[in-house]
Amino acid sequence: MNWIILIIAGLFEVAFASCLGKAKEAVGNEVYFWYGGFFVSLTISMVLLMKAAQSLPIGTAYAVWTGIGAVGTALMGIFVFKDPASFWRIFFLLTLIGSIIGLKSVSH
Protein backbone atom coordinates (compact mmCIF):
# COMPACT_ATOMS: atom_id res chain seq x y z
CA MET A 1 0.00 0.00 0.00
CA ASN A 2 2.85 2.41 0.77
CA TRP A 3 4.21 1.98 -2.76
CA ILE A 4 0.83 2.98 -4.18
CA ILE A 5 0.77 6.04 -1.92
CA LEU A 6 4.29 6.90 -3.07
CA ILE A 7 3.33 6.59 -6.74
CA ILE A 8 0.32 8.85 -6.20
CA ALA A 9 2.57 11.34 -4.42
CA GLY A 10 4.89 11.30 -7.44
CA LEU A 11 1.96 11.94 -9.78
CA PHE A 12 0.99 14.96 -7.70
CA GLU A 13 4.59 16.15 -8.07
CA VAL A 14 4.05 16.03 -11.83
CA ALA A 15 0.83 18.00 -11.32
CA PHE A 16 2.46 20.78 -9.33
CA ALA A 17 5.33 21.12 -11.80
CA SER A 18 2.85 21.21 -14.68
CA CYS A 19 0.81 23.87 -12.93
CA LEU A 20 3.93 26.02 -12.74
CA GLY A 21 4.44 25.59 -16.48
CA LYS A 22 0.84 26.52 -17.22
CA ALA A 23 1.00 29.51 -14.86
CA LYS A 24 3.98 30.80 -16.83
CA GLU A 25 1.84 30.77 -19.99
CA ALA A 26 -1.36 32.11 -18.38
CA VAL A 27 -2.62 35.67 -18.52
CA GLY A 28 -4.92 37.63 -16.24
CA ASN A 29 -6.80 35.89 -13.48
CA GLU A 30 -6.05 32.46 -14.99
CA VAL A 31 -2.65 32.69 -13.30
CA TYR A 32 -4.31 32.38 -9.88
CA PHE A 33 -6.06 29.17 -10.94
CA TRP A 34 -2.73 27.55 -11.90
CA TYR A 35 -0.94 28.77 -8.78
CA GLY A 36 -3.84 27.46 -6.69
CA GLY A 37 -3.46 24.10 -8.41
CA PHE A 38 0.26 24.25 -7.69
CA PHE A 39 -0.24 24.78 -3.95
CA VAL A 40 -2.95 22.12 -3.65
CA SER A 41 -0.88 19.57 -5.62
CA LEU A 42 2.25 20.43 -3.65
CA THR A 43 0.47 19.93 -0.34
CA ILE A 44 -1.06 16.60 -1.36
CA SER A 45 2.26 15.38 -2.77
CA MET A 46 4.18 16.24 0.40
CA VAL A 47 1.59 14.73 2.73
CA LEU A 48 1.54 11.49 0.74
CA LEU A 49 5.36 11.40 0.60
CA MET A 50 5.48 11.79 4.40
CA LYS A 51 2.94 8.98 4.79
CA ALA A 52 4.85 6.62 2.48
CA ALA A 53 8.20 7.44 4.10
CA GLN A 54 6.91 6.24 7.46
CA SER A 55 7.14 2.64 6.24
CA LEU A 56 9.70 2.82 3.42
CA PRO A 57 13.37 3.77 3.65
CA ILE A 58 13.54 7.55 3.25
CA GLY A 59 16.31 7.39 0.64
CA THR A 60 14.32 4.99 -1.50
CA ALA A 61 11.04 6.86 -1.03
CA TYR A 62 12.58 10.20 -1.92
CA ALA A 63 14.47 8.83 -4.93
CA VAL A 64 11.36 7.11 -6.31
CA TRP A 65 9.22 10.21 -5.66
CA THR A 66 11.62 12.52 -7.46
CA GLY A 67 12.12 9.96 -10.25
CA ILE A 68 8.39 9.71 -10.90
CA GLY A 69 8.20 13.48 -10.83
CA ALA A 70 11.15 13.90 -13.19
CA VAL A 71 9.94 11.33 -15.72
CA GLY A 72 6.34 12.52 -15.54
CA THR A 73 7.28 16.18 -15.83
CA ALA A 74 9.59 15.48 -18.78
CA LEU A 75 6.78 13.56 -20.51
CA MET A 76 4.35 16.40 -19.80
CA GLY A 77 6.90 18.76 -21.31
CA ILE A 78 7.09 16.64 -24.45
CA PHE A 79 3.35 16.03 -24.87
CA VAL A 80 1.84 19.24 -23.47
CA PHE A 81 4.50 21.94 -23.68
CA LYS A 82 6.03 20.69 -26.97
CA ASP A 83 9.53 20.14 -25.60
CA PRO A 84 11.82 18.25 -28.00
CA ALA A 85 11.73 14.44 -27.85
CA SER A 86 15.22 13.56 -28.99
CA PHE A 87 16.66 10.06 -28.93
CA TRP A 88 18.95 10.84 -25.98
CA ARG A 89 16.19 12.45 -23.98
CA ILE A 90 14.00 9.35 -24.35
CA PHE A 91 16.98 7.08 -23.71
CA PHE A 92 17.79 8.75 -20.40
CA LEU A 93 14.13 8.83 -19.36
CA LEU A 94 14.05 5.07 -19.90
CA THR A 95 17.20 4.61 -17.80
CA LEU A 96 15.56 6.67 -15.05
CA ILE A 97 12.47 4.46 -15.19
CA GLY A 98 14.74 1.40 -14.97
CA SER A 99 16.40 2.89 -11.91
CA ILE A 100 13.05 3.48 -10.22
CA ILE A 101 12.02 -0.12 -10.90
CA GLY A 102 15.40 -1.30 -9.62
CA LEU A 103 15.03 0.65 -6.36
CA LYS A 104 11.62 -0.87 -5.78
CA SER A 105 12.85 -4.36 -6.49
CA VAL A 106 15.73 -4.18 -3.99
CA SER A 107 13.71 -2.49 -1.23
CA HIS A 108 12.03 -4.51 1.50
What is the domain partition of the chain in residue ranges? 2-106
Q: What is the pLDDT of residues 64-88, one digit of tens each?
A: 999 999 999 999 999 998 999 999 9
Q: What is the pLDDT of residues 11-34, one digit of tens each?
A: 999 999 999 999 999 999 999 999
> How many of the other CB atoms lie within 10 Å of CB of 38?
19
C-alpha–C-alpha distance, residues 23 and 90, integer Å: 26
> How many of the other CB atoms lie within 10 Å of CB of 107?
14
As a whole number, the mean pLDDT across the chain is 95
C-alpha–C-alpha distance, residues 78 and 103, integer Å: 25
Q: What is the pLDDT of residues 39-60, one digit of tens each?
A: 999 999 999 999 999 999 999 9
Nearest to 48 by CA among 86, 10, 81, 95: 10
pLDDT band at 104 (very low <50, low <70, confident <90, very high): confident
